[in-house]
Chain A
Amino acid sequence: MKPHTLSILVENRAGVLSRVTGLFSRRGFNIESLAVGTCEEPEMSRITIVCIGDDAQIEQVMKQLNKLIDVIKVSDLTDNERVERELAMIKVTADSGGSRSEIMQIAQIFRAQVVDMGTKTLVLQIAGNTKKIDALETLLRQYGVKELVRTGKIGMLRGSKTVKSGK
């Protein structure tokens, strides 16, 4: 059992996301994270789903996904050379001068950006892999994390290989 990153190319139509996520829930698979957006083809969208399962379970879920008429292509990126990124925004309590500068130092080390500054809070934005975001969150917790939002992971194969249509 390990996390798998699935890249799913779908028709950009109403209801497609619920077909995909509905399939996961009714076959008993948990979705760890999910990210959806338009892609290089105007009529398609790309979904990145991270889910945990053994090889047989992942194979079954991929086959079931392939049966959906609106799913064009499913790829498991997990065992390939790939780039994976996630974006997070973290709102941290920063009401004293001391903590404020400490937080900004941490942000610098993590290459996070300050995207909003209020009188009592800072909002940091960070992009990276899951572990990096987890690590930043852990460090910031001592100052008080008021809110945290993550996009879910997106992924792409390295090199010239792509996840394109043609099942």
Chain B
Amino acid sequence: MKTGAKLLIEGLQREGVETIFGYPGGVVLPIYDDLYDSPLRHILVRHEQAAAHAADGYARASGRVGVCLATSGPGACNLVTGIATAYMDSIPIVAITGQVPTSLLGNDAFQESDITGITMPVTKHNYLVKKAVDLPRIIQEAFYIAGTGRPGPVLIDIPKDVSTGTVEIEPARMETVLLRGYQPTYKGHQRQIDRAIELIMLAERPLIYAGGGVVLSNASGELVRLAEQLVVPVTTTLMGLGAFPGDHPLNLGMLGMHGTEYANFAVTECDLLIAIGVRFDDRVTGKLDTFAPHAKIIHIDIDPAEIGKNKQVDVPIVGDVQNILGEILHKLQKTGYYQNWLEKIKGWKKKHPLRYKDDGKLRPQYIIQQLSSLLEGEGIIVSEVGQNQMWTAQYFCFRKPRTWITSGGLGTMGYGLPASMGVHYARPDQPVFDIAGDGSIQMNIQEFGTIAQYQIPVKVAILNNQYLGMVRQWQELFYDRRYSFTELPPVDFVKIAGAYGIDGIKVESRDQVSSALKTALNTPGPFVLDFRIEREENVYPIVPPGAANNEMIGGNSS
């Protein structure tokens, strides 16, 4: 005879779960009681949102399903931002919530919230468990749904009487999960692959546009081989950074709103766009009509709903990116060498590099560059959202997939610190830096408590400009410098860290950057760096909202 709580813990173990992030409460007491002497490692966060982000960070860094646990009502509601973050970036997590007993469901009971209803639009699927005997099947299905096809979050809501309820005969584990309403396509359609190859052979100015789908599909190796075999340049989205080595001669960096000028020029002038694991997001395309206006488009994605959603394409191939790239590589014969095109791009790269004012002041871009050269391709970089995120995307050289962890789709401020906790447990061998702003870090600063308690060696680098910098930048550029509610009073982050027992340094000049970063890296356990950067530094270049990608401003400021 087993309780629902026991079945849950055993189910998680059978799925290979080692670490979960959670926060206890009333209706999850039975589950926590079984956790107490289970081999699962439970990390106690300081706010449920952090548990969801930590599970998400764990999933992004490891490629496995991350798990978080919260109580009913406020606990479950606090997970929602984290679940939505994972949903927008197609990250596999399983969120487990407690629920009031089934007899009280719908009665506005204490700490009751309809969390399956609330999370319906931001989960791939969710379950309200009605009987303990269903738990093993639901757990197995949940992990399967979260981690296969286009990955995403799945929530399991467990009423208290289900976790205390007992099962006489434990149902046998299903050999394979069979869901008649869920059969993802993995293999690309042969005729479409042949048509794609025809387009590649005919192209004169081809460009690869690669995104998060390449990372999710573990297809970086195939992407590099394809680019090298064709000798075709590659631009990546924010989510695709690291899928193609940042120091590769064919790499054009990021495209879109804060992309490099040469990537945006290339996408505007190319005659064939090979879009791989991307979704033509508005931050990438700018004005849709002027995005890749001269190009035939091949679109490879596992989600059929992404095909033609924003932009009509010529050759859609639905399936797993790794499979399809493998097939294309297998079938591809020698193609022409795009000499003129490569020369043109080389010229743009030379004439329009990313740049910032090099005047001895403490500028954020310099800090990122220093960190990039200090780590030499090692380490995992997590970011918050805003200017800190864009400077990191532009100036850090990501060489490997799953070394860049950021909230792209939802753009969740406060994501970085908790996500980096999850990253650490996924990759304890790697140094983890959270690049933060003073605005973002204060959205989940309570997690200093968690990194202190478990001595999680996350290095928090705060690019402190006492502004909500990205919003201020838009106010400067588009709202006549009317800084409406974007100035933040100075905060002494070293003191806050100290209160939690975490060491830190305040850095006020450029010549201290390198040694401060080294100190952080070499100090065991967590560390906080408070960089007092130039307050009104902007992220350039920028494609103004609604403009075409080649209408960037700030590109030549130096």
With A59-B308, A60-B305, A63-B305 known as contacts, the answer to whether A68 contacts B181 (CB < 8 A) is: yes
Assess the A18–B117 pair: CB atoms within 8 A: yes
Assess the A66–B304 pair: CB atoms within 8 A: yes
How many Å lie between the Cα of A18 and that of B304 in the bound state?
23
A-contact 0/1 string along B271-288, CB 8 Å cutoff = 000000000000000000
User: Contacts of B303 on A, CB cut-off 8 Å?
Assistant: 67
Assess the A69–B121 pair: CB atoms within 8 A: no
A-contact 0/1 string along B484-507, CB 8 Å cutoff = 000000000000000000000000
How many Å lie between the Cα of A16 and that of B181 in the bound state?
12
CB distance from B150 to the nearest CB of A (A): 8
User: Contacts of A22 on B, CB cut-off 8 Å?
Assistant: 120-121
CB distance from B14 to the nearest CB of A (A): 21
User: Contacts of A167 on B, CB cut-off 8 Å?
Assistant: 181, 183
Closest A residue to B154 by beta carbon equals A69
How many Å lie between the Cα of A166 and that of B180 in the bound state?
7
CB distance from B146 to the nearest CB of A (A): 11
How many Å lie between the Cα of A66 and that of B150 in the bound state?
13
Q: Does B132 contact A (CB under 8 A)?
A: no
From A14, A18, A26, A69, contact of B181 by CB (8 A): A69
Q: Does A47 contact B (CB under 8 A)?
A: no
User: Contacts of A166 on B, CB cut-off 8 Å?
Assistant: 180
Q: Does A56 contact B (CB under 8 A)?
A: yes
With A18-B120, A72-B180 known as contacts, the answer to whether A63 contacts B304 (CB < 8 A) is: yes
Assess the A60–B304 pair: CB atoms within 8 A: no
Q: Does B357 contact A (CB under 8 A)?
A: no
Closest A residue to B149 by beta carbon equals A67
How many Å lie between the Cα of A59 and that of B180 in the bound state?
21
User: Contacts of B120 on A, CB cut-off 8 Å?
Assistant: 18-19, 22
Q: Does B223 contact A (CB under 8 A)?
A: no
Within 8 A of B (CB), among A1-34: 10-11, 14-15, 18-19, 22, 26
User: Contacts of B116 on A, CB cut-off 8 Å?
Assistant: 15
Assess the B305–A66 pair: CB atoms within 8 A: yes
Assess the B121–A70 pair: CB atoms within 8 A: no
Closest B residue to A15 by beta carbon equals B116
Q: Does B294 contact A (CB under 8 A)?
A: no
User: Contacts of B121 on A, CB cut-off 8 Å?
Assistant: 22, 26
Total count of chain B residues near the partner, CB < 8 A: 19
Q: Does B173 contact A (CB under 8 A)?
A: no
How many Å lie between the Cα of A71 and that of B125 in the bound state?
11
CB distance from A9 to the nearest CB of B (A): 9
CB distance from B439 to the nearest CB of A (A): 29
Assess the A69–B117 pair: CB atoms within 8 A: no
Within 8 A of A (CB), among B108-156: 116-117, 120-121, 124-125, 128, 145
Assess the B305–A165 pair: CB atoms within 8 A: no
Q: Does B1 contact A (CB under 8 A)?
A: no
User: Contacts of B179 on A, CB cut-off 8 Å?
Assistant: 69
Q: Does B309 contact A (CB under 8 A)?
A: yes
Q: Does A64 contact B (CB under 8 A)?
A: yes
How many Å lie between the Cα of A165 and that of B183 in the bound state?
12
Closest A residue to B179 by beta carbon equals A69
User: Contacts of A68 on B, CB cut-off 8 Å?
Assistant: 125, 181
How many Å lie between the Cα of A167 and that of B180 in the bound state?
8
How many Å lie between the Cα of A63 and that of B124 in the bound state?
14
Q: Does B182 contact A (CB under 8 A)?
A: yes
Assess the B124–A60 pair: CB atoms within 8 A: no
B-contact 0/1 string along A121-133, CB 8 Å cutoff = 0000000000000
With A11-B181, A22-B121 known as contacts, the answer to whether A67 contacts B305 (CB < 8 A) is: yes
User: Contacts of A10 on B, CB cut-off 8 Å?
Assistant: 181
From B180, B181, B183, B309, contact of A60 by CB (8 A): B309
A-B contact pairs, 9 of them (CB 8 A): A10-B181, A22-B121, A56-B308, A67-B303, A69-B145, A69-B181, A71-B181, A72-B181, A167-B181
**Chain B residues proximal to chain A, CB less than 8 Å:** 116-117, 120-121, 124-125, 128, 145, 179-183, 303-305, 307-309
**Chain A residues proximal to chain B, CB less than 8 Å:** 10-11, 14-15, 18-19, 22, 26, 56, 59-60, 63-64, 66-72, 165-167
Given A63-B304, A63-B305, A68-B125; 20 other pairs, CB 8 A cutoff:
A15-B116, A15-B117, A15-B128, A18-B120, A26-B121, A59-B308, A60-B309, A63-B307, A67-B124, A67-B303, A67-B305, A69-B125, A69-B179, A69-B182, A71-B181, A72-B180, A165-B180, A166-B180, A167-B181, A167-B183
